[in-house]
Structure 1
Amino acid sequence: MSDIYLVKKGIYATIAYAFIMSITAVAAKQVQTQIAVPVLVFWQSLFCIVILFPQMWGKWQRRPLHVIKAHFLRSLGGFAGFLFYYWALNHIPLVEASLLRSCAPLCVPFVVLIMHRMMIPKARWLPLLIGFIGVALVIKPTPEHFDPWHIVGFLSAVGLAFSMVTTRMLSSHVSGQETMLVYFAFSAVMSVPLALGQGESLALPSETWLWVLLVSITLYVGMHLYTLAYSYAPASVVSPVSYIGIVFAGFWGWVIWGHVPDWLAISGTVLIFLSILISARLNRK
């Protein structure tokens, strides 16, 4: 199987992943008008545990402490990332929440700096600067436009960046199924006290079942496609292509909620995409 064929498969898998995850975001934004965010996270995690548990039957092994720590950090980052993303979806347009979450690659160098004390190469500063100018345009940090929920949306990118770095750390020690199962188990456990602390019941109203099922199924399929994409093509290809998800999110936001991005959000999107393209070229080199 040629490298070109594999790269094409990676591109197709990435586009499919972006489309599926845009549906996840639509369903999550819709159902959160009826249930709290921790309740949604609990049920989507429980669904994925049911799917993944049989795949790991008889495959568990004793893990050294450094792998357990990496599992914890990956799960914490992923859990926080989804919480912040879903909270942001409740208060800002879908396309802006999705865009801010997609800024995770910009945060990865800083996560690596914190976790591994690895300095950011000088060549990386230009794309990072361009990307964060784009983030500032989306957030609109002026008194008349500033919305703190944009900061919450960006925090979802920070959580996702931690999960990306630690997933790579785990990839040489454990299977993808183990990483995902530990993460979903952690999310299910952590969401229970959050829900109860807000005075929410974990029981789902009957009219939300289909929405929660849609969120859970598309989330699992999306994560599977994401894993396939990275197995077929390098990150320098997958990362820029994945930004087509912003187009899908913008389409759904316009059709369903009538959200039309302003010129600041569009300019910020262009700058963020440009920064990812420059970073991808540096990766290839």
Structure 2
Amino acid sequence: MSDVYLVKKGIYATLAYAFIMSITSVGAKFAQTQIAVPVLMFWQSVFCVAVLLPQMRGKWQRRPIHVVKAHFLRCLGGFFGFLFYYWALNHIPLVEASLLRSCAPLCVPFVVLIMHRVVIPKARWLPLIIGFVGVALVMKPTPEHFNPWHIVGFMSAVGLACSMVTTRLLSGHVSGQENMIVYFAMSALLSLPLVVLQGESLVLPSGAWLWVLLVSITLYVGMYLYTLAYTYAPASVVSPVSYSGIVFSGLWGLLIWGHVPDAIAIAGIALIFCSIVISAQITRKKA
């Protein structure tokens, strides 16, 4: 099988992932009209654990402490990434929340700097600056336009970046199924204290079941496609293509809620996309 054919499959898998995850976001936004975010996260995690458990039969192994620590950090990053993202969905347009979460690649160099003391190369600074200018344009941090929920949306990118870095650490030690099931099991456990603190119940209203099921199924399929994409194609290809999810989210936001990004937000989206493409080109040249 040729490299070109594999890259094409990777691109198709990435496009499918982006579309499926945009549906997850729509389902999560509707689900939150009836249930709290921690309740949604608990049930989506339980569903995914139930699907993955049979796949792990006979595959469990004792892991060294450094792998356990990486699992823990990956779970924390992924959990807070989703938590902040779902919270932001309640208060800002879908396309803006999705865009801010997709800024995770911009945060990865800083996460690596903090975790591993690896200095950010000079070549990376130009795309980073371009990307963060784009983020500022989307947030519009002026007294008359500033919305603190944009900060929450951006924090979801920080959590996702932590998850990306630790997932890469784990990739050489554990299978994709183990990585996912440990994350979802931990996510379910971490959701429970928040459910109690908010005084919520885990019993779902009859009208919420359909939305929770939609979120759970699309989340599992999306993560499977995401893993598949990185199997077929390098990150330098997958990362820019995954930004098609912003287009899908924008279309859903327009069709369902009538949200239309203004010219400043569109300029910010363009700058962020350009920064990711430049970063991908730098990565490809070094590979």
Output the TM-score relative to the length of structure 1.
1.00
Paired residues, number: 285
In the TM superposition, 1:18-29 aligns within 5 A as 18-29=18-29
Corresponding position of 1:247: 247
The alpha-carbon deviation at position 185 of structure 1 amounts to 0.4
In structure 2, distance between residues paired with 1:72 and 1:194: 18
The alpha-carbon deviation at position 196 of structure 1 amounts to 1.1
Corresponding position of 1:148: 148
Which amino acid in the other structure matches residue 193 of structure 1?
P
State the identity %. Answer: 80
Residue 193 (str. 1) matches residue 209 (str. 2): no
Corresponding position of 2:177: 177
In structure 1, distance between residues paired with 2:207 and 2:87: 21
Q: CA RMSD in A?
A: 0.4
In structure 1, distance between residues paired with 2:114 and 2:105: 15
Residue 218 (str. 1) matches residue 222 (str. 2): no
In structure 2, distance between residues paired with 1:263 and 1:83: 29
Corresponding position of 1:17: 17
In structure 2, distance between residues paired with 1:26 and 1:55: 28
Which amino acid in the other structure matches residue 213 of structure 2?
L
Residue 260 (str. 1) matches residue 260 (str. 2): yes
Output the TM-score relative to the length of structure 2.
0.99
Which amino acid in the other structure matches residue 125 of structure 1?
W
Which amino acid in the other structure matches residue 226 of structure 1?
Y
Which amino acid in the other structure matches residue 114 of structure 2?
I
4+ residue segments displaced more than 6 Å: none
Corresponding position of 1:228: 228
In the TM superposition, 1:1-285 aligns within 5 A as 1-285=1-285
The alpha-carbon deviation at position 106 of structure 1 amounts to 0.2
The alpha-carbon deviation at position 264 of structure 1 amounts to 1.4
The alpha-carbon deviation at position 180 of structure 1 amounts to 0.5
In structure 1, distance between residues paired with 2:26 and 2:123: 37
